[in-house]
Chains A and B, each alone.
Chain A
């Protein structure tokens, strides 16, 4: 078992060094001069050792559970799909109604904050722009409150041995990001990892809104999402 661990970490290291050397070609990066104090170095070493030990013990427990190269490979997708953290982990709030509508009530679309210095521009706007922005915000606020938010139709198609979900056609709010669909599938299929492809071609950026994807790639008014338990299109 220890051999497995060693070889894994060896691979990691070699991978990194090739990458680092290729990055040197990348552009003229000037390495900064960081002076290193002895004391800092020693503190750091102890941190390193402690962390490495923890890492190994975690790996050992993983090896005990299942054979795991595959697991390792799939972790990324799992993390991709629930990257929204707590917001979407409260999966209880993603439900399908009988009419096949994915209800996302209570799930707030995550919005990126505005950096402080940038937001100061808002205070220096000409009057006309200010008025226009107020109007946009008011209209958006009203649209959010209205019960019939715009929903789009999505159609799920299993790829490979993964089960078909019912209903296979659902409706989802257009403003939600694609990551919500990943979370929905994980919950519905009770699995750990899922890979989704639009029109059997590409995996979209999970941050993109379902509405934007729908308007660009819909086929007969539905966004066709193929899903699979492993990588289907690399």
Chain B
């Protein structure tokens, strides 16, 4: 389990950041103003914003440190919700099934996720505007953990009663990528017998949807709840044919079997904001044929 936690914590994505061409000073080519960064999957994108701004600001038409301007990220002109971990955004926005990605890999290739930096007088509809930098991100993150604590324990007591020193250390562990300190505090919040499990389901097709259903660790007959149980209930139409789900669950860039127990998976894969984020990816006809799932 420790090994899996380590892989989840250290997972990273290669990101190529460019700036929307309309926002660049005339004459500057888009390629000139691009950044290649390796970002941990388990972090919020804007935590790199000061660094990114610093690298690109000389090429922009406006001063993006201006408080009246909002900055956000886009992937193929779709604004990204920065308040979910980077890895989750990548998995859900590209809707890639890891086995498919693997087939495209060669020893001389490198996977890059190209996203764009955009700014304007108003943040796009649905995107939380970043107005107070790191302080705002930290506050948001703390409240996410309080919500997680409430879901797991039925109250936010464990989180509220953390010593000032511990809660400061908790956030620092995320910034400094110190897994030991992070998990030392996280285990104070995560109980052995949870009331419910904090899961966020990201669905991107046929439309973008984010669901946070109530999920118990055990069903009424004491058997442990699996993803299949939850998804059959949530999306009954897709799961009509037993054993032939046209969907795969992707978490931290790998496939999770539908039969996996949710709490077991939670303990191994929970994200730095305390939730278990899973992305639902639809299988294409090609993949179904390869996996031999056809009728």
Q: In the complex, what's the smallest C-beta–C-beta distance from B174 to chain A, in angstroms?
A: 9
Q: In the complex, what's the smallest C-beta–C-beta distance from A63 to chain B, in angstroms?
A: 14
Q: How many residues of A contact B (CB 8 A)?
A: 76
Do B37 and A29 touch (CB < 8 A)?
yes
A217–B165 Cα distance when bound, in Å, is 29
A110 and B125 contact, Cβ closer than 8 Å, known pairs A29-B38, A40-B28, A126-B285: yes
Specify which chain B residues have a CB less than 8 angstroms from the CB of A132 in the assembled complex: 237-238, 240, 246
Q: Mark A8-22, 1 if CB is under 8 A from B, else 0.
A: 000000011001101
Q: Which of B76, B139, B212, B284 contacts A115 (CB 8 A)?
A: B76
Does B196 count as interface, using CB distance less than 8 angstroms?
Answer: yes
A113 and B208 contact, Cβ closer than 8 Å, known pairs A85-B122, A203-B143: yes
CB-CB nearest in chain A for B67: A55
Does B8 count as interface, using CB distance less than 8 angstroms?
Answer: no
Q: In the complex, what's the smallest C-beta–C-beta distance from A15 to chain B, in angstroms?
A: 8
Do A112 and B78 touch (CB < 8 A)?
yes
Q: In the complex, what's the smallest C-beta–C-beta distance from B49 to chain A, in angstroms?
A: 9
A202 and B36 contact, Cβ closer than 8 Å, known pairs A115-B93, A116-B76: no
A137–B209 Cα distance when bound, in Å, is 13
Q: Which of A34, A116, A126 contacts B284 (CB 8 A)?
A: A126
Of all A-B residue pairs in the complex, the 4 with the closest CB atoms, nearest first, are: A202-B146, A112-B208, A51-B63, A115-B76
Known: A115-B77, A137-B206, A205-B144. 11 other contacts (CB 8 A): A27-B40, A32-B35, A115-B76, A115-B78, A115-B93, A126-B285, A128-B244, A136-B238, A202-B147, A202-B150, A204-B143
What are 13 sample pairs from A and B whose C-beta atoms fall under 8 A apart?
A: A19-B50, A20-B51, A36-B58, A40-B25, A44-B59, A58-B68, A83-B123, A112-B79, A113-B77, A113-B208, A202-B147, A208-B210, A217-B150
What residues make up the interface of A, taking CB atoms closer than 8 Å to B? 15-16, 19-20, 22-23, 25-32, 34-36, 40-41, 43-44, 47-48, 51-52, 54-55, 58, 75-76, 79-80, 83-87, 110-119, 121-122, 124-129, 132-133, 135-137, 139, 198-199, 201-208, 212, 215-217, 234
